[in-house]
Amino acid sequence: MIEQDSKEKILVCIDRALSSLGDSSRQVIYWHLNILYDLRREDIPANPVKFKQCLKSMLGHSANSLEYMIIRDLKGTFQINDDVNGLEQMIRRIIARAQLNEIRLSSPRERSS
CATH at 52? 1.10.1200.200
Give the C-alpha separation, 70 to 58, whole Å. Answer: 17
Find the mean pLDDT for residues 91-113: 71
Is 82 a domain residue?
yes
Q: Choose between 4 and 55: higher pLDDT.
A: 55
Is 100 a domain residue?
yes
Domain that holds residue 77: 4-106
Per-residue CA distances from 110 to 102, 105, 113 (Å): 12, 10, 5
Q: Choose between 100 and 112: higher pLDDT.
A: 100
pTM: 0.85
Residue 67 confidence (pLDDT) above 50: yes
Specify whether the CB–CB gap between 10 and 74 falls below 8 A. yes
Give the C-alpha separation, 8 to 47, whole Å. Answer: 14
Is 113 a domain residue?
no
Residue 113 confidence (pLDDT) above 60: no
Q: Choose between 101 and 43: higher pLDDT.
A: 43
Is 112 a domain residue?
no
Is 111 a domain residue?
no
In this prediction, residue 105 carries a pLDDT of 61
Q: Choose between 108 and 97: higher pLDDT.
A: 97
In this prediction, residue 108 carries a pLDDT of 54
Domain count along the chain = 1
Average pLDDT for the chain: 89
